[in-house]
Structure formats: structure tokens, C-alpha cells
């Protein structure tokens, strides 16, 4: 079913490169990888096409893939689309950035589906993906003077482990490090 | 005064008391809380003030929204670093004598969300707390028990001498430092005048604590 | 019927108003985060022209407890108590949504009796949530405390049921991947039947008090209208969407669990105003009672846990899944990415309350400040879910 949708999108929006990413779990929700330059046109086609009518963007998720030996790391945004008119779904779309440090721009789908407005702001706040075309991109969960992107996998928490009544495992190692750093 | 004499006199319609007893009796039976619900414990606090576990019969007649008119701040719910300056500001705006109940595990020490970049690990890092209630969330009966403990604490405060409450000591501070938002954490991360760490031992796991004790 | 006091003045977004704010013509204030009527620590930066709202920006994050990051370092089962604390008024439906997502990820089957227990607890949770919402709504309109007391009286009866079943009034932690945690105690079904039989009397009492009430109708009809197209585009779900006239209920669309065996209707509204959202919640409570009667009649005997489900050493295959249910507030979904280890690689909660707040500005523009509070009350948010 996803292959048919891929063929239809490729015939409607020329020049776009799509790729089906299979899903290993029994849920069977395979996803479609979009390329950022054509993402807005593909999204508009998916929303307005009379057979698909995917007018409800349910969930926008940010994912952080660290650098491995096989491939450089990248950040990713996953979109789950449903149709309120035809009552089918979900169709899963993905968009990837090029790397984790400086090329982190992706087009925003908020002009097409307004439900992505707060969710894209949250991904900007916690992961650092900058969405071009978003009407109001600023921090939503953390305070404005905060400087890190906390949900990334390599984020280090601030050191406030002064007193731990029953530490164990990694909390014990951090409490010991804290005492070494501040001898009293 | 002799207890038997007191009872004899009261049977004749003469009530004897001391100024301290009268003052504390009036104060402890009319503690008005402030509506300060942050998270899940707030729902239990509302349920405590509803018809089944009525908190009004203990003197908490109305929950005042304004801090200037309230005596008690029940910090119910997780205090996050984004909310902490507001909590301290509200505490500073309350008029003396003022009390704080830390309700629930999150207000005591961060609770189940302790490992977090945005969670303040206990409200007693910035303001002095009188009663702590453990639980997640504590039952309404536990909140009533904490209220009664607070009443007992108020009752035992002497009017003169070293045991007198904070609002009768001329140079005890009643306003505390409001933290600012920093780049990675709040500044300052804790208030050393308020947050006393009792034991400075080397951190160790629970099994070693028992070994050291023996 | 639209009263003169609640006619909106601005229909569209005014252009650039920052110079009008600087000159003092418009007033910019912050409603919250400590406010008696916001449902928790929530702030709204409003720009006012007299009493009318010109611009409104919601600010949250005051309860951001990094639930998603904690879940990445905890196992799948260890995240189950944290889902209770998301929408802390209805904890059992949060548990079901998470269990559904993990069962899709790992391909587990749930036995019949467990499905019936899940439906019964979810519909009881819907009763609890809707009565609390309507109680808080009347309190925000000014009836300080009395209808809320009646609503909480009913809520306490149902919380007693939860306590005898799961051990805790609010944070139940009852569902497991592949079934439920413990068997129903003896006499629980009879107690539930008695409460379900008495509940319509409370609903009739409430309707007599509120539905035909002149003050209630004048304050709620025509206030905070949400149009159908905007609701669909902004991703609104739950009673807010159905009050605007869109027939989308995930219990009928996805047919998760065994909802296709029950006979119930979906109430729809026409105007999309505050009065419609109140009526939708009252009617949904009556439909929930119908479902409860059918479920209590038909529940079979049997096991409550999938025999192939592993409690220790639960490592699903690498993959991802998205599972969603119709929680009392809207669509609650969980997105999980697994990489074969005992902890999830990415754990995401799709919060209905956060998405429903997208249209707060459009609904409130042009109305006065007390109307804003009432409109905000019908959006029915819980900060534990908005901020996670």
C-alpha cells in the first residue's frame, strides 16, 4: 500500500526522491523518507489529493541518531498522518538533516498542517532542528536563556548531586564525582 | 497554674489562660492556605477540601489566591527550575507568620523525576519548610495529619526566649534570594543558608551504610 | 442566542500592534502561572484593549519533568508508573495507551477477560474526568464550589473502586504488556454495577441544575466558536472536535481493544461553542454508562495475562510503533523506537492537551477576559500532559 502511494507522489511531484524505510516490528508501520527541498509540495499533495486526503497530522517526533562507524549522525523528524475524512492511516513520513552540528535546517510543515506548530517548536527546543518557515520558532519548554538541547543523547546534566540518601548505580558514581570535585 | 484549680474555676464560669496559649490557639485554628497546586498532588489537595475529607473543619476555611492574604503555602507537586523563581517570589510576598508544607515526594526531594534537567530537587533548597509529607500522592488523610502536625508545632512556639517563632525575632530574614535563569542551570543552584546538608559522609550504597553502622 | 456582552469585536489578527502597546493604548499582562483558574501552572500573555483580548500567547514548560528522557534510561515496564503522572486525573487510560503501543511493537495478544476489564476501567475513567471537567468549568464561571462538590462526590465513589482494584486512588499502574496486573477482587463487579446504576441520577441532577440555566446559557452559547476546518487542520481531537461537528472518535475508527462489540453512539455538536462542548461531555457520560452496562453483563471468565508475555528480560525486536487511544481529552498516542535493548531508544508521548491549545488564540480573540477563562476551561487541559 505504501508503494502505491510512493508511485502516486512521484508522478504528481516531479523530481522528488522518496525511499521506503521498512519497520522490523510486528506493527507493520513502514515509513517514507522525504528529501527536504520537495517536502512542502509532497505534503500539500498528500493533504489535497482526493483519494488520500491526509488532513490530520497527528504526531511530530524528533529523534537523535548519534555518529556510528557506518554513517555520520543526524537528527530526524517523524510525522504520523491520518485522514479524518476517509478515516484511514497512519502514513509515516520522515525527514533527516545532514549532520548534528551545523546543517540542521528542515522545512516546516506548519503552513500545511497547523497541528505541527507547537510540536516543531518543541523539537527545536529539545533537539536543535531549525524549521524554516515556521511562524514563531522559539523555546517552548525550557526558559529562553537556556543554551543546550537537552534531549540529545550526548547532553550532560548540571551537577546538583549534593545529597543522596541511598545512591546506587550511576547515581552513586555521580555523587562520588561530586564529592571529589567539592571537598568540604 | 494548678490544673484542678483551673477546672474548678471553669465550672464556675471563669476561664484562665496565659497570653501565649491564647495567642497560639487563635493562630493555629485559622491557618488559611494559598491555592498553590502545581501537579498531581494538587488534585489530592482539592479532594481534601471537598465534602468527603473536609479540611475546613480544621480551620482552613478558604483557600486564598493572593499570597498577601494567606498564612500557609502547601507546595503540592513537582517544582521545576522554570517555576522555582516564581515559588520563591510568592513566598517572599506572603506576610509573616508564614508556614510551608512540602506535600508529596516531588516537593521534598524531586521525587520520581529526580534525574532531570528541569526538576528542582526539593523546594527546601530555597525556602524553609515546616512539615514534609511523603507519598506519591499522599492520601487526603495524610494531608490532614500534616495539618494537625503543623497546628501542634504552632502550639508549642513560645512567645519569648530562644524558642520564639521567626516573626518575633527582629533580625531573622523573612525574604529569601530569588534564583535567576542561567545558561545551564539556575543561579544560585541552592541557598546555603536554607539548605543544610546534615551528613557530609562519603556517598555509599545502602548495603555499605548498614555495614558502617555496625 | 448571543448576548450583547459576549459578541467578539476582532475577527482577524490585527497587523502590527507593538507601537500601540508602547504608547499605552493596549495593555500587555501575564495571566498566570500562579492563577486561581488556570488548571495548573500555565501562563497566557494577553494583550488587552480595555477588557477585550487582542492577542494571546500561551507559555508553558513550568511542569516539564523530562519524562521522555527518563524513559530512555529505564526499561519498558519501569515507564509504566510514569504514564500515570501524565494526565493525572485519568491514569488508567494512559496506562492502556502505553500498553497498546508496546503490544503493537512486540506483537502480544491480550486475552478476552483482560480486554473487558480494560474497557470497564477506561469508561469509568471517562466518567471521572468529564464530571471533574464540568465541575471546574462551573467554578470558573463563578459558581464557586457547589457543583464541583457534587462532581467530586461522584468521583470519590469511583476512586474507591480503583483503590480496591489497584491499591491506589489516582496513580493506578494497573495495565501490563499483554493484560492486566491482578485479578478483580471478589464483589468488585457487583459494586461497580451498583455505582453504574446510580450514576444517571447524578447526571439528571446536574442537567436540571445547569442545562436550562439562564446564566449558564448566556455565558456559554456563542462563546469561543471553533470552526470545523480549523479544528481538523489544527489537529484537535476529543470532545472539542466533536463539538465542532466532525465525526471522528478513535474508538470507532481504529476499533482498538474490543470496542467493535459494543453498541454506542457518538454525540456531535453543531456550533462548536462552550455550550456544545459541555453538552457533548454530558452525552458522552451517558454513552459510557451504556458501554459499562454491556461490558459488565458480558465479561467472561478466563486468564488476565498473555502466557507468552515476558515480564523479565523483555527485549522487543528493533522497530517502531505508534499506538493511540481515545482518552477523555483527545487522542493520546505513544511512539516507540526500539533497538533491541531493554530500554526504548525513543519514547514519545503525543499529548492531546498540548495540541488542543493550538487554537486557543483563535477562539479567544475579541472576547473579554472572563470569557477567556471559560473558553480555556472547556479546552480541558492538564499540565502534566502538556509539559510531560
Domains annotated for chain B, with CATH where assigned, are 18-213 (3.40.50.12280)
- Chain C: partners with 3+ C-beta pairs within 8 Å: A, B
Q: In terms of domains, do A76 and A6 share one?
A: yes
CB contact under 8 A, C333 and A27: no
pLDDT for res C128: 92
Over 50: is that where the pLDDT of C3 sits? no
**A183 in the same domain as A105:** no
Q: Which ipTM did the prediction report? A: 0.89
Q: Cβ of B178 under 8 Å from any chain C Cβ?
A: no
Is A177 found in the same domain as A126?
Answer: no
**Which of C33, C34, C150, C388 would you mutate first to test chain B, the one with the most B CBs within 10 A?**
C34
For the cut 60, the answer to whether the pLDDT of residue C314 exceeds it is yes
For chain A, what is the domain count?
2
Cβ neighbours of A92 in C, within 8 Å = 322
Asked if A135 and A148 sit in the same domain, the reply is yes
Pick the range with the lowest mean pLDDT from C188-197, C219-228, C280-289.
C219-228
- C4: confidence class by pLDDT, cuts 50, 70, 90: very low
pLDDT at residue B190, rounded to an integer: 78
Q: Which of A72-76, B140-144, B208-212, C209-213 has the lowest mean pLDDT?
A: B208-212
- B95 at interface of A, judged by CB pairs closer than 8 A: no
Q: What mean pLDDT do residues C319-346 have?
A: 90
A21/A46 same-domain check: yes
Domain match, A144 and A163 both: no
- A110 and A181 together in one domain: no
What is the model's pTM? 0.90
Whether A90 and A120 map to the same domain: the answer is yes
Mean pLDDT, rounded, for C12-41: 76
Residues A113 and A135 in one domain: yes
Q: Is B142 on the interface with C (CB under 8 A)?
A: no
Residue in C62, C169, C171 closest to B80 by CB: C62
Of C331, C335, C338, the CB nearest to A61: C335
pLDDT of residue C9: 53
Q: Does A163 have pLDDT greater than 70?
A: no
User: Are both A90 and A132 inside the same structural domain?
Assistant: yes
Q: Which residues of A68-85 are buried (b: 16+ CB within 10 A; e: fewer)?
A: eeeeebbbbbbbbbbbbe
Q: Confirm or reject contact between A2 and chain C (CB < 8 A).
A: no
pLDDT band (50, 70, 90) for residue A143 = confident
Residue C256 has pLDDT above 90, yes or no: no
**Arithmetic mean of pLDDT over chain C:** 87
Say yes or no: A141 and A67 in one domain. Answer: yes
The arithmetic mean of pLDDT across residues C172-176, rounded, is 89
Q: What is the pLDDT of residue B209?
A: 55
- Give the domain CATH number at A14: 3.30.460.80
Q: What does the pLDDT read at residue B63?
A: 85
User: Measured between beta carbons, which residues in chain B are less than 8 angstroms from residue A157?
Assistant: 115-117
Chain A residues lying within 8 Å of B184, measured CB to CB: 146-148, 158
On whether any CB of chain A is under 8 Å from the CB of B196, the answer is: no
pLDDT at C15 > cutoff 70: no
pLDDT of residue B198: 55
Give the pLDDT of residue C54.
87
Residues A63 and A39 in one domain: yes
SS3 of chain C: CCCHHHCCCCCCCCCCCHHHHHCCCCEEEEECCCCCCCCCCCEEEEEEECCEEEEEEEECCCCCCCHHHHHHCCCCHHHHHHHHCCCCCCHHHHHHHHHHHHHHHHCCCCCHHHHHHHHHHHHHHHHHHHHHHHHHHHHHHCCCCHHHHHHHHHHHHHHHHHHHHHCCCCCCCCEECCEECCCCCCCHHHHHHHHHHHHHHHHHHHHHHHCCCHHHHHHHCCCCCCCHHHHHHCCCCCHHHHHCCCCCCHHHHCCCCCHHHCCCCCCCCCCCCHHHHHHHHHHHHHHHHHHHHHHHHHCCCCCCECCCCCCCCCCCCCEEEEEEEEECCEEEEEEEEECCCCCCCEEEEECHHHHHHHHHHHHHCCCEHHHHHHHHHHHCCCHHHHHC
Mean pLDDT score, B63-78:
89
CA distance C46 to chain A (A): 16
Range of the domain at A161: 156-184
**Domains along chain C?**
67-387 (1.10.645.10)
For the cut 80, the answer to whether the pLDDT of residue A82 exceeds it is: yes
Q: Which residue has the higher pLDDT, C25 or B82?
A: B82
Instruction: Pick from B203, B208, B210 the residue to mutate for testing the A interface (most A CBs within 10 Å).
Output: B203
* Chain A CB contacts of C330 below 8 Å: none
Amino acid at each position: 500500500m505504501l508503494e502505491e502511494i510512493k508511485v502516486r507522489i512521484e508522478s504528481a511531484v516531479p523530481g522528488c526522491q522518496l525511499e521506503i524505510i521498512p519497520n522490523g516490528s510486528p506493527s507493520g508501520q513502514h515509513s517514507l523518507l522525504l528529501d527536504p527541498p520537495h517536502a512542502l509540495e509532497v505534503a500539500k499533495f498528500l493533504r489535497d489529493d482526493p483519494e488520500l486526503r491526509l488532513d490530520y497530522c497527528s504526531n511530530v517526533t524528533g529523534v537523535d541518531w548519534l555518529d556510528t562507524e557506518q554513517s555520520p549522525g543526524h537528527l530526524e523528524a517523524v510525522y504520523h498522518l491520518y485522514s479524518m475524512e476517509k478515516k484511514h492511516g497512519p502514513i509515516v513520513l520522515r525527514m533527516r538533516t545532514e549532520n548534528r552540528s551545523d546543517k540542521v535546517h528542515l522545512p516546516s510543515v506548519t503552513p500545511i498542517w497547523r497541528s505541527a506548530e507547537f510540536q516543531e517548536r518543541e523539537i527545536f527546543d529539545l533537539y536543535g532542528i531549525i524549521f524554516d518557515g515556521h511562524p514563531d520558532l522559539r523555546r517552548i519548554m525550557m526558559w529562553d536563556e537556556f543554551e543546550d538541547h537537552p534531549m540529545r543523547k550526548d547532553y550532560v546534566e548540571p551537577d546538583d548531586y549534593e545529597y543522596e540518601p541511598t545512591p546506587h548505580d550511576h547515581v552513586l558514581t555521580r555523587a562520588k564525582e561530586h564529592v571529589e570535585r567539592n571537598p568540604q | 497554674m494548678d490544673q484542678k484549680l483551673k477546672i474548678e474555676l471553669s465550672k464556675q464560669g471563669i476561664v484562665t489562660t496565659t497570653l501565649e496559649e491564647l495567642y497560639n490557639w487563635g493562630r493555629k485554628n485559622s491557618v488559611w492556605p494559598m491555592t498553590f497546586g502545581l501537579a498531581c498532588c494538587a488534585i489530592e489537595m482539592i479532594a481534601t477540601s471537598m465534602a468527603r475529607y473536609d479540611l475546613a473543619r480544621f480551620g482552613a476555611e478558604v483557600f486564598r489566591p493572593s499570597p498577601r492574604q494567606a498564612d500557609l503555602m502547601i507546595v503540592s507537586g513537582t517544582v521545576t527550575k522554570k517555576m522555582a523563581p516564581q515559588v520563591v517570589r510568592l513566598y517572599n510576598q506572603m506576610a509573616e507568620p508564614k508556614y510551608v508544607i512540602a506535600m508529596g515526594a516531588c516537593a521534598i526531594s524531586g521525587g520520581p523525576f529526580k534525574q532531570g534537567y528541569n526538576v528542582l530537587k526539593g523546594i527546601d533548597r530555597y525556602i524553609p519548610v515546616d512539615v514534609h509529607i511523603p507519598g506519591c500522592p499522599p492520601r487526603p488523610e495524610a494531608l490532614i495529619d500534616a495539618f494537625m502536625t503543623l497546628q501542634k508545632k504552632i502550639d508549642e512556639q513560645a512567645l519569648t526566649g530562644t524558642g520564639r517563632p521567626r516573626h518575633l525575632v527582629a533580625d531573622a530574614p523573612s525574604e529569601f534570594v530569588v534564583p535567576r535563569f542561567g545558561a545551564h542551570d539556575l543561579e544560585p543552584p541552592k541557598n546555603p543558608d536554607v539548605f543544610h546538608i546534615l551528613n557530609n559522609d562519603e556517598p555509599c550504597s545502602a548495603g555499605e551504610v548498614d555495614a558502617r553502622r555496625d | 442566542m448571543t448576548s450583547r456582552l459576549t459578541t467578539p469585536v476582532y475577527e482577524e489578527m490585527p497587523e502590527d500592534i507593538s507601537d500601540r502597546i508602547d504608547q499605552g493604548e493596549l495593555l500587555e499582562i501575564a495571566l498566570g502561572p500562579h492563577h486561581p483558574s488556570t488548571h495548573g501552572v500555565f501562563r497566557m500573555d494577553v494583550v488587552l484593549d480595555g477588557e477585550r483580548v487582542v492577542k494571546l500567547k500561551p507559555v508553558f514548560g513550568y511542569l516539564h519533568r523530562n519524562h521522555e528522557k527518563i524513559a530512555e534510561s529505564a526499561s519498558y515496564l519501569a515507564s509504566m508508573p510514569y504514564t500515570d503522572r501524565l494526565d493525572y486525573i485519568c491514569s488508567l487510560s494512559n496506562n492502556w495507551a502505553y500498553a497498546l503501543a508496546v503490544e503493537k511493537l512486540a506483537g502480544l495478544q491480550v486475552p478476552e477477560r483482560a480486554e473487558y476489564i480494560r474497557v470497564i476501567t477506561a469508561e469509568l475513567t471517562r466518567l471521572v474526568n468529564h464530571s471533574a471537567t464540568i465541575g471546574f468549568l462551573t467554578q470558573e464561571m463563578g459558581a464557586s464550589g457547589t457543583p464541583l462538590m457534587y462532581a467530586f462526590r461522584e468521583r470519590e465513589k469511583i476512586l474507591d473502586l480503583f483503590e480496591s482494584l489497584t491499591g491506589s486512588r489516582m496513580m493506578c499502574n494497573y495495565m501490563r504488556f499483554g493484560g492486566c496486573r491482578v485479578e478483580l477482587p471478589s464483589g468488585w463487579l457487583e459494586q461497580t454495577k451498583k455505582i453504574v446504576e446510580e450514576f444517571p441520577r447524578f447526571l439528571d441532577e446536574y442537567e436540571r441544575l445547569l442545562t436550562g440555566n439562564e446564566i449558564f446559557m448566556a455565558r456559554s452559547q456563542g462563546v469561543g466558536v471553533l470552526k470545523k476546518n480549523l479544528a481538523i487542520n489544527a489537529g484537535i481531537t476529543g470532545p472539542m472536535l466533536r463539538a465542532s461537528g466532525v465525526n471522528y472518535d478513535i474508538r470507532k475508527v481504529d476499533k482498538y481493544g474490543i470496542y467493535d462489540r459494543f453498541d454506542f453512539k457518538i454525540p456531535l455538536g453543531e456550533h462548536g461553542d462552550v455550550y456544545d462542548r459541555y453538552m457533548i461531555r454530558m452525552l458522552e457520560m451517558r454513552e459510557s454508562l451504556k458501554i459499562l452496562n454491556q461490558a459488565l453483563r458480558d465479561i467472561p471468565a478466563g486468564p488476565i495475562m498473555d502466557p507468552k508475555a515476558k515480564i523479565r528480560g523483555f527485549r522487543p525486536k528493533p522497530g517502531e510503533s505508534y499506538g493511540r487511544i481515545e482518552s477523555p481529552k483527545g487522542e493520546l498516542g505513544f511512539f516507540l523506537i526500539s533497538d533491541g535493548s531493554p530500554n526504548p531508544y525513543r519514547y514519545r508521548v503525543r499529548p492531546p492537551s498540548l495540541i488542543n491549545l493550538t487554537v486557543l488564540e483563535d477562539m479567544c480573540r475579541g472576547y473579554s477576559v472572563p470569557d477567556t477563562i471559560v473558553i480555556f476551561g472547556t479546552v480541558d487541559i492538564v499540565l502534566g500532559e502538556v509539559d510531560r
